């Protein structure tokens, strides 16, 4: 009887610990209305900026060990916006992103490395124009807190620099050196906790 009782007690502790571990991971959904993906590229001697207005994805957050967190995100190429309709159409063409063939830009993290109190190097696979490259996103946790209707929120600030040629997004040869290769990316994310 004592052996059976001990077995049940140990089993309860193990199951309880497993349940606690699962509960420690919070799943957040990126809010597309309050998130944005911006970019800047050199044009001759100045710079041109733009953004993608449709982003979705999830962030699995382990608050006890944020380095165990993960993120997956998808950006709709058709949502590119540089405040110029003609330029946006050109960017979606086969000269650049070829949105008809490659509808999405995706990112999936493979590791998080703590670099400061609230900052991380988030390494992962970024796919643009059908080409996948490993990139590092400089990520800052802005905080956790309640939002509308008591929804738990998390806020993130992300930056990186990409080489468009690495992804085959070179543009037509007639542009020559009009466009730079380096693209500065700045991302702000607000995500809702889903229970």
Model pLDDT, residue 23:
54
Instruction: Classify residue 150 as left (phi > 0), alpha (psi -120 to 50) or beta.
Output: left
The model's pLDDT over 127-154, given as tens digits with 9 standing for 90+, comes to 999 999 999 999 999 999 999 888 999 9
Spatial contact of 110 and 124, defined as CB atoms under 8 Å apart? yes
pLDDT in tens, the chain (195 residues): 444 444 434 444 444 444 444 458 999 999 999 999 999 999 999 999 999 999 999 999 999 999 999 999 999 999 999 999 999 999 999 999 999 999 999 999 999 999 999 999 999 999 999 999 999 999 999 999 999 888 999 999 999 999 999 999 988 887 767 899 999 999 999 999 986
Q: Could you tell me the CATH superfamily of domain 25-194? A: Lipid/polyisoprenoid-binding, YceI-like (2.40.128.110)
Residue 78 has phi, psi (to 5 degrees) of -65, -10
The model's pLDDT over 84-112, given as tens digits with 9 standing for 90+, comes to 999 999 999 999 999 999 999 999 999 99
What are the structure tokens assigned to 117, written together?
């109190």
Is residue 184 helix, strand or coil? strand
Residue 66 CB contacts under 8 Å (≥ 6 apart), including other chains: 112, 114, 120, 141
pTM: 0.86
What are the structure tokens assigned to 66, written together?
């944020």
Domain ranges for the chain, please list them.
Answer: 25-194
Write down the H helix ranges in the chain: 2-24, 85-92
| CA separation for the pair 185, 169 (Å, rounded) | 15
């Amino acid at each position: 009887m004592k052996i059976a009782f001990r077995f049940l007690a140990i089993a309860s502790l193990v199951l309880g610990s497993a349940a606690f571990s699962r509960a420690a991971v919070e799943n957040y959904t990126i809010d597309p209305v309050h998130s944005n993906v911006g970019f800047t590229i050199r044009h001759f001697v100045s710079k041109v900026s733009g953004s993608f207005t449709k982003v979705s994805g999830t962030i699995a957050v382990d608050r006890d060990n944020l380095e165990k967190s993960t993120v997956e995100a998808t950006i709709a190429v058709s949502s590119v916006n540089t405040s110029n309709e003609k330029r946006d159409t050109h960017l979606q063409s086969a000269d650049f992103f070829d949105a008809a063939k490659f509808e999405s830009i995706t990112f999936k993290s493979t590791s998080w490395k703590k670099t400061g109190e609230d900052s991380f190097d988030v390494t992962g696979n970024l796919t643009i124009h059908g080409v996948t490259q490993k990139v590092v996103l400089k990520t800052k946790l802005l905080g956790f807190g309640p939002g509308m209707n008591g929804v738990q929120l998390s806020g993130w600030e992300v930056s990186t620099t990409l080489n468009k040629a690495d992804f085959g997004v070179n543009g037509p040869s007639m542009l020559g050196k009009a466009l730079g290769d380096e693209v500065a990316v700045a991302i702000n994310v607000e995500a809702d906790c889903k229970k």
